Structure 1
Amino acid sequence: MFLDATTLLIQQTSSEAVQLNPHEIAVNLKQFLLVLAVSLGVATLPQIISWLHRIPYTLLLVIVGLGLAFVDIRLVELSPGLILSIFLPPLLFEAAWNLQWSDLKRDFFPICLYAIGGVVITVAGVAIGLNQLANVALPIALLIGACLSATDPVSVTALFRELGADKRLRTVMEGESLFNDGMAVVAFSALSAMAYGASELTPQSILLEFVQVVGIGIGIGSTIGFGISYITQRFDLPLVEQSLTLVSAYGVYLLAEDLGGSGVIAVVATGLILGNFGSQIGMSPRTRVIVTAFWEFLSFFVNSIVFLLIGDQIHFTSLGKNLGIIAVTVGMMFLTRAIAIYGLGWFSNRLIKIRIPIKEQTVLWWGGVRGSVSIALALSVSRSLGDRDAIIAAVFGAVLFTLLVQGLSIQPLMMALKLLGSQPLRQKYVEAIARHMALSRVLQHLDEVELRPNIEPEIYRDSKAVIQEELQLLQTEISRFEVENPAIRDWITQQLHSELIAIEADTYADLVRTGLLNQELSSFLYKRFQDENKFPE
């Protein structure tokens, strides 16, 4: 039986927590508050220094962490158990909650190809390269490949959202990141057993382990997800429903790991079900907004800590001693990523009608950022393994390279390939519309309170004149914007269709909640707009 690394980590973390005395708890709390203060301070820097807007705040946190590491200031000792059991579940759940099943279903085949085939290609390619070019023992090389086989969903999701990437491109990247994360943990557990001499790998044992781990993860995640979805139909208590989603994110992870499954896959399954099914049948529109906002906050909160600590954990002396191994690792990682993306992309384009253009494949290749999951897996390698330091150095060096080099250059790449689309234009347009709506309501309020006593009529007239002048300027700006950017009109129509579909779904959900319907009806408008090719992509 393969070594279940993540379960051992959780058990180790739990046993350590029990042994903490009050003094240690106070020290840990101070360290946590220090990390939080630094990370939140860094996150606000772009609001103070304008040119820092060019750098995504997650990468800015890594850079600041590197600066602290360079002067040997360690905010906290980052343990793999901390990342895997505390930081990872909420980040995975938030990404899955916001991933629309309709979008995921459209590209499910290439996502699965990249998630499964990409892990195999990366592990094999990196291992062969390190073994042949850097004389690294094959079991050690395989462990390094397994650690780096996952494109970290934490890094990728945060980066693509900040850049305002195209919706379909973001879905493929996030979907692959969410699923291949679980595959990487499975591969790492299997290869760890071989490196420790606990078992011999055979095709049958690998397949059996894969089916068991993934199957248990999907089973537990789906059961909990559907169970909470139907429970929340019985009441409308936003704080309780919000708490249930938080408990489910951690609960399914720990339960799946204890039962020999993949906690990552379980969290992703639960998040997808609650975000796409449970939030529609079991939550009122107001509750959905509250829960979504809560997870947006929690994602920002945890991301701010994780990325700062990634930079802060770098040991430059160790990196310097293993530059050769790091260089080979980075080179093979890029090569295997290219083979996986372009090769599997070509295969997918031949089998299904919905193609992934070469430009988008290029972004998927360059956007294969590694992050906290890779670091957690590397740190979880047993100290009894002689080459542990080389594994950690190779993984840390590769992660650092992808975060800084790829992370800082992907926006110029997407701009050069013209894949950022009209996201900045859309944002400006939405801001103008929002201001027009707000001032129109203010003007309406002035009309309603104009007869209020003890207020001079001139105040009303002056206020109305200022607001009406601004409304005219905004209307001119909006009209000019629509003329100069015809594509905005299609987007406006798509947004309206999305709103109409949401209203229809909310009405069915309310009728189910009140007992007038036994089950929620399928969306008439969704099918109609889809048939007319007017549904927003």
Structure 2
Amino acid sequence: MHQADLALPVLIFTGLFMLTTGSAIWLKFLRVPYTIGLVVIGMALGLLAKYSDFLAPVLQVQLTHDLIMYVMLPVLIYDAAINIKLPMLIKELVPVLMLAIVGVVLSTLVVAGLIGNFTPMTMAGALLFGALISATDPVAVIALFKEVGAPERMALLMDAESLFNDATAIVMFGIVMAVLQTGQGFGLDTVFMALWDFCRVFFGGIAVGAILGIAMLFLLRLGHAIPYVQISLTTILAYSSFIIADHVFGMSGVMSTIAAGIVTRTGSKKVLSEPVQQYLGPYWEFMAFVANSFIFLLLGMQEDFLFKDMDHLYKNVPFLVLTIAVVLFARFLVVYLLLPISNRLPKSAPVDNKTKAIMFWGGLRGVVPVALMLSIPVDMPERGAIIHMTLAVILFSLLIQGTTIGRLMDFLKLKHLSR
């Protein structure tokens, strides 16, 4: 390949990386959450690039389903997984699974029912939207909770829920999509198939990640005397666990990478050299910073789709406001119906009302719904409406909920740096 063919993409990458790095300094000075600020900067950059020949090449860089799922998400999931303390996760498993599995199903049905009955959208389109928007997004939630310094237990509950519920949402989205494309109805057979698919994808992903993680421990032991080899192997594990599970076996890449990361953390003291144990955390924090930077900057540029036709947007404002209200109502039901049930179950530590309030308002939506909406076939009816609804919910989630969650934590006297 001629060297000029790579010069422009590398220059664009460098320029965007410089923008995000400089923004990190500026936003910290302004005390604005970095990830939230980047969304606004991305929206401004996308607008300026339309009217500037100098910035126009930036528009060539766009979020795609594969870029999110196979390039950026594995880094962020693995970084979160190696920071999860397994004993604490096991202790909180009941409320986490209640929210991550039952909660996503409940939210999907509530959103679909209300959108399908109170808007012009068909029930099929409403179900598809409900499935993709019901999972709280691990990228947005984990990044924000690190910045605001949430209490340790609350951060674990939110992090684990947002990681685990992706498997449920992706399976439900895939089932609804398959039903719509084949034209079959939602009968009893479909329900049993959905349950089987969920178990296969969810637990199969855990199995794939655990096996790859255990195998990697052997290689990490062999590379004990070479720190950069061990660091490289953890990077290989992050990507391979996700892509092999998702692309090769059709399992949950998220659950696979979580399992691989937890295996790494559990066996780290036995196989990792002291220098690697010291620098593994900072290395993955840097990797997560890079991934977060580009995800939220490009997400802001993606939001420009919502404002392309202002006349159309103006006419649909009531519809989009109703959509946002429905998604918030569904989240409210998930938190305030399911957590009281979880509190009554044996071996489940009660979740207090202050934590419930933060879990309700802190249930952000981000790039995972974007990845799912981008996978909807172009010729599918109501695709445009679903994209507008998804972007509107994400914009509200990040710019309103994301910027006020810290103040709510201060008001409830919950803010405490724990990591």
| TM > 0.5 | yes
8 Å Cα contact 1:148-1:395 kept in structure 2: yes
8 Å Cα contact 1:127-1:145 kept in structure 2: yes
Aligned counterpart, 1:151: 136
Deviation (angstroms), 1:386: 2.5
* Structure 1 SS opposite 2:351: coil
The CA distance in 2 between the partners of 1:360 and 1:215, in whole Å, is 28
Aligned counterpart, 2:11: 30
1:337 to 331, 336, 356: 331
Cα deviation, 1:353-393, whole Å, max 9, x if unaligned, reads 51100110110000000001111111111101131111111
Structure 2 letter corresponding to 1:272: I
Structure 2 letter corresponding to 1:40: T
Aligned counterpart, 1:224: 212
The CA distance in 1 between the partners of 2:250 and 2:315, in whole Å, is 37
8 Å Cα contact 1:39-1:304 kept in structure 2: yes
* Structure 2 SS opposite 1:196: helix
Structure 2 letter corresponding to 1:273: V
Deviation (angstroms), 1:273: 1.4
Q: Does 1:324 align with 2:314?
A: no
8 Å Cα contact 1:129-1:328 kept in structure 2: no
Deviation (angstroms), 1:342: 1.1
Gaps of 5+ in 2: 51-57
Aligned counterpart, 1:210: 198
* Structure 1 SS opposite 2:182: coil
The equivalences for 1:59-70 within 5 A come to: 59-70=36-47
Aligned counterpart, 1:134: 119
> How many residues of Structure 1 are paired with residues of Structure 2 in the alignment?
400
Q: Does 1:189 align with 2:144?
A: no
The CA distance in 2 between the partners of 1:226 and 1:190, in whole Å, is 31
The equivalences for 1:10-89 within 5 A come to: 25-46=6-27, 50=29, 52-53=30-31, 55-71=32-48, 73=50, 75=59, 76-89=61-74
The CA distance in 2 between the partners of 1:296 and 1:260, in whole Å, is 29
Deviation (angstroms), 1:261: 0.9
Structure 1 letter corresponding to 2:297: L
Q: Does 1:295 align with 2:284?
A: yes
Aligned counterpart, 1:501: none
1:400 to 391, 395, 398: 395
Aligned counterpart, 2:274: 285
8 Å Cα contact 2:220-2:233 kept in structure 1: no
Q: Does 1:260 align with 2:255?
A: no
Deviation (angstroms), 1:132: 1.0
Give the TM-score, by structure 2 length. Answer: 0.91
Deviation (angstroms), 1:28: 3.3
1:98 to 71, 79, 83: 83
Deviation (angstroms), 1:103: 1.6
Are the structure 2 counterparts of residues 382 and 24 from structure 1 closer, same or farther at C-alpha, using a change threshold of 3 Å?
farther
8 Å Cα contact 1:139-1:194 kept in structure 2: no
Are the structure 2 counterparts of residues 26 and 385 from structure 1 closer, same or farther at C-alpha, using a change threshold of 3 Å?
farther
The equivalences for 1:122-521 within 5 A come to: 122-197=107-182, 199-201=184-186, 202-236=190-224, 237-257=226-246, 258-275=248-265, 277-314=266-303, 315=305, 316-318=307-309, 319-320=313-314, 322-352=316-346, 353-421=348-416, 423=417
8 Å Cα contact 1:238-1:290 kept in structure 2: no
Are the structure 2 counterparts of residues 133 and 172 from structure 1 closer, same or farther at C-alpha, using a change threshold of 3 Å?
same
- Whose RCO is larger (CA < 8 A, sep 6+)? 2
Rg comparison, structure with higher value: 1
* Structure 2 SS opposite 1:369: coil
Gaps of 5+ in 1: 1-19, 428-537
Are the structure 2 counterparts of residues 326 and 197 from structure 1 closer, same or farther at C-alpha, using a change threshold of 3 Å?
farther
8 Å Cα contact 1:64-1:308 kept in structure 2: yes
Structure 1 letter corresponding to 2:268: S
Deviation (angstroms), 1:325: 3.2
Cα deviation, 1:320-347, whole Å, max 9, x if unaligned, reads 4542332222111111111111111100
The CA distance in 2 between the partners of 1:337 and 1:159, in whole Å, is 18
Are the structure 2 counterparts of residues 377 and 298 from structure 1 closer, same or farther at C-alpha, using a change threshold of 3 Å?
same
Deviation (angstroms), 1:25: 4.6
8 Å Cα contact 2:200-2:251 kept in structure 1: yes
* Structure 1 SS opposite 2:194: helix
Are the structure 2 counterparts of residues 192 and 350 from structure 1 closer, same or farther at C-alpha, using a change threshold of 3 Å?
same
Deviation (angstroms), 1:234: 3.7
8 Å Cα contact 2:138-2:163 kept in structure 1: yes
The CA distance in 1 between the partners of 2:327 and 2:183, in whole Å, is 27
The CA distance in 2 between the partners of 1:158 and 1:88, in whole Å, is 12
